[in-house]
């Protein structure tokens, strides 16, 4: 009897491919093991075994596999089932899911590039002959394709060999070329060496009695030392003594105090970590915890709706603890950008070394390590904190999934496929494991709240901030009025300016929010009105002052700022609108004494760049932080008393049915950064339109009203959650062809599906990277079978693909487009 193996190739092809295998291989193989297979003329891929059978493929002669790469499944049954669900639901191929789910170290292929790991200590004697050949070749040539390695060792299949070299740390894959490790530096102080001597110390205190401020600092240092044996951060001393950094600096300059740095590794905790904290919930948290536990008896999913700073994390921790006690793994999902050391630290101090972190910015090795720990159900990975890709880890025994900040739209992957929503995929994953799932937010998405109201999900709420801290006091500032009365300093109303000044005087910190980066989004000629556009996209170029460049935020195109108008030559160019960079510049003029930091896409590119800014702000090395929506994400700063929103209108006017919901969420979240300790925080929202209902709802913290109104609108205009939406985007470089093709597609959909097709329509940015874009929206009612609709769409796609003139047109599906 012949034996065959179906495999999933990590490429966007619909079907499985069949290879020939021997009886022994058939006996050994299991779904989820990797095999090296030849593909096409000369390619080698790592593929995933799917099933063994004895039916020869009809359409082609099955080739033999090269080799089995694993001893046992790398991917378990839960994962395969989940990945198939993702492929089916989000209309992509299983291969695309595999490609995005597995760390690339597991998917070596003939085109993969490898290079020498410069940091590795290689003992040449440890290398086998073929390994040594590769090692040596890489001394002369910086990168090698795996295909080339085949030539060097004169073997067809070298994936096992390269796998071994990767495992030994001798070689790295090309993508891995980013910073491996940047330690965080924290500044600490101690008493100068000299004063460890008693008499010297007495003399010093005597001498200082004439400088009360300095003596206060030294006494405070003693008090802090008495409280704990730990090193004392400068920031703590500053707070304890109530004196300024200048006073401390003076003492350091006089060698009375000594400043030193400790490298604290934020990610790796090498030493045995002993959990040191115990958490007791306050009555509101305890109630929420009980409500959730109670609701789990009826529904597997619960929504935790707790205002900002209500202490949702502590409730999650208790839930995780409960799940651990039952011997089950827990997954804690966060939006990519919110993945901060603050949270990791909190969980580590509670659960010690049981916490693992999984994140796309981590190196391949770190990711492989976490993967293996989860697979082996090792003690080191009982709790995984991660961004959306951690959904793909080999959990075998999941008891709880937490989705924090569940309203965040960055949970949805836009590009490439699978274009999945991590919250929704998490709920499905949990259900496969019969695990509980808790969604948490201060501003739940309309979808989740709707599910809670319809009793599909359990529901718990916390209305009070932890420690009886008051909700921030939110005020709207009418800048139309202020502009008319000429009461603006640049982009700052008098009210906001004064508030910033006051906060600084009090030694408190300020966050300023502006949802655009760069200096000015539009450069316009005052003579002919020409606006400088991106040559590849349908958008204006944004001016970045720091580089004196115009940049496209869609494709990355950039050019130097021109001297005059490109259309008429006139030298007078006007900068319209403003971004974070401009605010930072204005602050330098308005508050020359203040330290101003900025957090946006431009300042957070490196691996730890985001963390560094957060740390610096935490340590109060900055007085003001200007940022885009990045500053809204669940950060917990203690000393921020004022949050200013530079302009709320650009959020509200975004052309999208979700713009209002999102504005509410973003403004409430950023407002929530203010006053997280005793003193009541203050929030000022500048707007031209202070009567806007969303702004009113933000000021009164009226989530229910917002929900009611938005829900009503969605009902009226048929948007989710009342219907489902599949967005189909067609792309082509040829404008006319795109129009024709999308018209063809829309009419075919119309014929089959009837009323529910909208478009084709140009999106607000109708051309990106030289591709023209057109969208077709397919709305289906909740009662309709979504899989039937998808099948119909797929059938139409088949006919479409058969039309040769549309060959170049690309199709992108986005299910539950958000
Ligand atoms: P949320 O995520 O709801 O905005 P956090 O979980 O960040 O709020 O909690 C806000 C602050 O209150 C944090 O600094 C946290 O350490 C503290 N906190 C919350 N609950 C407790 C508790 N039960 N015991 C001690 N500290 C708590
Ligand atoms: Zn001009
Ligand atoms: Zn562009």
0.85 surpassed by pTM: no
Encoding tokens for residue 180?
């491996």
Average model confidence (pLDDT) across the chain: 89
Nearest to 612 by CA among 631, 630, 599, 626: 599
Encoding tokens for residue 129?
């002959």
In this prediction, residue 78 carries a pLDDT of: 96
Q: Classify domain 3-106 by CATH number.
A: 3.40.1440.60
275 pLDDT band, cuts 50/70/90, is low
In this prediction, residue 251 carries a pLDDT of: 87
Residues within the annotated binding site for Zn(2+)? 525, 528, 534, 537, 552, 555, 565, 568
In this prediction, residue 4 carries a pLDDT of: 97
pLDDT greater than 50 at residue 37: yes
Peptide bond into 423 cis (omega under 30): no
607 pLDDT band, cuts 50/70/90, is low
Contact between 173 and 104 (Cβ < 8 Å): yes
- Assigned CATH topology for domain 473-519+578-712: Rossmann fold (3.40.50)
Nearest to 664 by CA among 513, 498, 445: 445
Average pLDDT over residues 522-538: 92
In this prediction, residue 710 carries a pLDDT of: 96
pLDDT greater than 50 at residue 183: no
In this prediction, residue 738 carries a pLDDT of: 96
Average pLDDT over residues 419-438: 97
The predicted-structure confidence for 660-690, as pLDDT tens digits, reads as follows 999 999 999 999 888 877 788 999 999 999 9
pLDDT greater than 90 at residue 424: yes
Q: How far apart (Å, rounded) are the C-alpha atoms in residues 319 and 460?
A: 13
In this prediction, residue 83 carries a pLDDT of: 97
In this prediction, residue 264 carries a pLDDT of: 46
Is residue 122 within 6 Å of ligand 1 at its C-beta? Answer: no
Is residue 405 within 6 Å of ligand 1 at its C-beta? Answer: no
Q: Within the chain, how many helices (H) and strands (E) appear?
A: 26, 36
Roughly how many angstroms between the first and final C-alpha of the chain, as a whole number?
51
The predicted-structure confidence for 215-267, as pLDDT tens digits, reads as follows 888 888 888 887 766 778 888 888 888 888 888 888 888 888 888 776 443 34
Q: Do the domains spanning 283-467 and 473-519+578-712 agree at the CATH topology level? A: yes
Average pLDDT over residues 496-506: 95
Rg of the chain taking only CA atoms, in angstroms: 29
**Contacts of residue 13, Cβ cutoff 8 Å, sequence gap at least 6:** 93, 95
Average pLDDT over residues 449-455: 96
In this prediction, residue 443 carries a pLDDT of: 96
Q: Which CATH class is domain 283-467?
A: alpha beta
Is residue 675 within 6 Å of ligand 1 at its C-beta? Answer: no
CATH number, domain 110-177, options 1.10.3210, 1.50.10, 1.20.120, 1.10.10: 1.10.10
> Residue holding tokens 């089959």?
752
Peptide bond into 416 cis (omega under 30): yes
- Assigned CATH topology for domain 723-815: Alpha-Beta Plaits (3.30.70)
The predicted-structure confidence for 159-170, as pLDDT tens digits, reads as follows 888 888 888 888
Average pLDDT over residues 348-352: 89
56 pLDDT band, cuts 50/70/90, is very high
Reduce the secondary structure of 39-67 to three states and give it as a string: ECCCEEEEEEEEEEECCCCCCCCCCECCE
**Residue 425 DSSP symbol:** H
Encoding tokens for residue 47?
């593929």
Contact between 413 and 378 (Cβ < 8 Å): no
Residue nearest to atom 19 of ligand 1 (CA): 311
Q: Following CA atoms 112, 115, 119, 120 in sequence, which dihedral angle do they give, to the nearest 10 degrees? A: 80
Determine the atom of ligand 1 nearest the C-alpha atom of 280: 23
The predicted-structure confidence for 236-245, as pLDDT tens digits, reads as follows 888 888 888 8
Q: How far apart (Å, rounded) are the C-alpha atoms in residues 612 and 22?
A: 55
In this prediction, residue 455 carries a pLDDT of: 95
157 pLDDT band, cuts 50/70/90, is confident
Is residue 312 within 6 Å of ligand 1 at its C-beta? Answer: yes
Higher per-residue pLDDT: 68 or 84: 84
pLDDT greater than 90 at residue 30: yes
Instruction: Kindly report the length of the chain.
Output: 818
Range with lowest mean pLDDT among 2-11, 210-219, 398-407: 210-219
177 pLDDT band, cuts 50/70/90, is very low
Higher per-residue pLDDT: 473 or 185: 473
818 pLDDT band, cuts 50/70/90, is low
Average pLDDT over residues 606-620: 82
Q: How far apart (Å, rounded) are the C-alpha atoms in residues 25 and 54?
A: 13
**Residue from 343, 466, 674 to probe ligand 1 pocket by mutation (most atoms less than 8 Å from CB):** 466
473 pLDDT band, cuts 50/70/90, is very high
Is residue 544 within 6 Å of ligand 1 at its C-beta? Answer: no
User: SS3 for 72?
Assistant: coil
Q: How far apart (Å, rounded) are the C-alpha atoms in residues 28 and 23?
A: 9
Cβ burial, residue 317 (10 Å; 0-12/13-18/19+) = buried
Residues within the annotated binding site? 525, 528, 534, 537, 552, 555, 565, 568
Q: How far apart (Å, rounded) are the C-alpha atoms in residues 1 and 6?
A: 16
In this prediction, residue 559 carries a pLDDT of: 93
In this prediction, residue 786 carries a pLDDT of: 86
Average pLDDT over residues 101-108: 86
Average pLDDT over residues 457-476: 93
Range with lowest mean pLDDT among 124-138, 192-206, 591-605: 192-206
Is residue 632 within 6 Å of ligand 1 at its C-beta? Answer: no
Q: What is the distance in A from the centroid of ligand 1 to the CA of 636?
A: 9
Residue 260: Cβ within 10 Å count: 10
Q: What is the distance in A from the centroid of ligand 1 to the CA of 467?
A: 8
- Closest ligand to the CA of 570: 2
Domain segments of the chain: what residues?
3-106, 110-177, 193-255, 283-467, 473-519+578-712, 723-815
269 pLDDT band, cuts 50/70/90, is very low
Determine the atom of ligand 1 nearest the C-alpha atom of 308: 4
Is residue 310 within 6 Å of ligand 1 at its C-beta? Answer: yes
């Amino acid at each position: 009897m012949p034996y065959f193996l179906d495999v999933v190739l990590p490429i966007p092809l619909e079907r499985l491919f069949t290879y020939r295998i021997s009886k022994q291989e058939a006996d050994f193989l299991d779904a989820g093991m990797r095999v090296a297979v030849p593909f096409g003329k000369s390619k080698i891929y790592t593929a995933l075994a799917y099933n063994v059978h004895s039916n020869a493929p009809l359409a082609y002669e099955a080739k033999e596999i090269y080799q089995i790469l694993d001893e046992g499944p790398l991917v378990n049954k839960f994962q395969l089932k989940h990945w198939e669900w993702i492929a089916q639901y989000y209309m992509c191929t299983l291969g695309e899911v595999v490609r995005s789910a597995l760390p690339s170290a597991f998917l070596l292929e003939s085109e993969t590039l490898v290079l020498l790991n410069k940091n590795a200590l290689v003992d040449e004697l440890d290398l086998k002959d073929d390994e040594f050949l590769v090692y040596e070749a890489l001394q002369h040539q910086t990168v090698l394709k795996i295909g080339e390695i085949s030539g060097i060792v004169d073997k067809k299949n070298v994936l096992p060999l390269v796998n071994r070299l990767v495992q030994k740390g001798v070689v790295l894959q090309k993508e891995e070329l980013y910073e491996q490790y940047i330690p965080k530096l924290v500044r600490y102080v101690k008493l100068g060496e000299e004063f460890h001597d008693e008499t010297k110390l007495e003399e010093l205190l005597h001498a200082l009695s004439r400088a009360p401020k300095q003596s206060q600092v030294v006494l405070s240092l003693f008090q802090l030392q008495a409280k704990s044996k730990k090193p004392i951060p400068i920031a703590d001393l500053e707070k304890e003594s109530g004196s300024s950094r200048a006073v401390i600096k003076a003492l350091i300059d006089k060698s009375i105090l000594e400043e030193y740095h400790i490298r604290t590794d934020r990610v790796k905790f090498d030493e045995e970590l002993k959990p040191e904290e115990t958490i007791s919930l306050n009555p509101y948290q305890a109630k929420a915890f009980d409500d959730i536990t109670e609701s789990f008896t009826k529904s597997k999913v619960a929504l935790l709706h707790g205002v900002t700073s209500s202490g949702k994390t502590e409730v999650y921790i208790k839930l995780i603890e409960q799940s651990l006690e039952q011997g089950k793994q827990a997954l804690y999902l966060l939006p990519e950008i919110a993945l901060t050391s603050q949270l990791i630290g909190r969980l580590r101090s509670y659960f010690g070394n049981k916490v693992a972190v999984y994140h796309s910015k981590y190196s391949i090795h770190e990711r492989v390590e976490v993967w293996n720990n989860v697979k082996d159900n090792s003690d080191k990975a009982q709790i995984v904190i991660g961004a959306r890709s951690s959904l793909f880890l080999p959990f075998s025994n999941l008891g709880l999934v937490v989705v924090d900040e569940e309203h965040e739209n960055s949970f949805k992957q836009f590009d490439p496929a699978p274009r999945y929503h991590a919250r929704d995929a998490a709920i499905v994953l949990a259900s496969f494991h019969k695990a509980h799932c808790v969604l948490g937010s201060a501003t739940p998405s309309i979808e989740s709240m709707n599910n809670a109201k319809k009793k599909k999900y359990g529901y718990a709420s916390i209305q009070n901030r932890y420690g009886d801290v008051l909700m921030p006091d939110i005020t709207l500032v009418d800048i139309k009025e202020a502009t008319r009365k000429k009461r603006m300093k640049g982009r700052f109303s008098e009210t906001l300016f004064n508030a910033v000044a006051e906060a600084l005087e009090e030694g408190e910190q300020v966050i300023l929010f502006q949802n655009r980066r760069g200096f000015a989004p539009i450069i316009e000629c005052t003579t002919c009105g020409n606006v400088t556009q991106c040559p590849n996209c349908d958008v204006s170029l944004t001016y970045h002052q720091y580089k004196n460049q115009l940049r496209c935020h869609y494709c990355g195109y950039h050019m130097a700022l021109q001297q005059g108008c490109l259309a008429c030559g006139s030298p007078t160019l006007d900068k319209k609108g403003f971004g974070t960079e401009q605010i930072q510049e204005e602050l330098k003029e308005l508050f020359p004494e203040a330290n101003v930091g900025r957090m946006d896409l431009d300042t957070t590119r490196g691996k730890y760049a985001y963390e560094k800014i957060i740390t610096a702000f935490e340590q109060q090395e900055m007085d003001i932080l200007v940022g885009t929506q990045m500053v809204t994400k669940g950060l917990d700063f203690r000393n921020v008393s004022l949050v200013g929103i530079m302009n709320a209108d650009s959020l509200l006017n975004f052309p999208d049915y979700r713009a209002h919901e999102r504005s509410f969420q973003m403004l409430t979240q950023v407002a929530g950064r203010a006053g997280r300790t005793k003193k009541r925080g203050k929030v000022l929202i500048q707007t031209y339109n202070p009567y806007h209902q969303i702004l009113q709802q933000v000021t009164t913290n009226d989530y229910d009203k917002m929900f009611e109104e938005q829900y009503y609108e969605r009902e009226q205009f048929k948007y989710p959650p009342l219907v489902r939406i599949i967005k189909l985007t067609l792309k082509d470089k040829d404008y006319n062809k795109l129009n024709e093709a999308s018209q063809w597609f829309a009419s075919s959909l119309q014929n089959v599906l009837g009323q529910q097709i909208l478009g084709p329509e140009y999106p607000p940015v109708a051309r990106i990277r030289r591709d023209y874009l057109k969208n077709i929206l397919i709305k289906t009612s909740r009662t309709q079978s979504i899989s039937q609709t998808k099948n119909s769409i797929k059938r139409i796609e088949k006919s479409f693909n058969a039309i040769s003139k549309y060959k170049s047109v690309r199709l992108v599906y986005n299910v539950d487009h958000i």
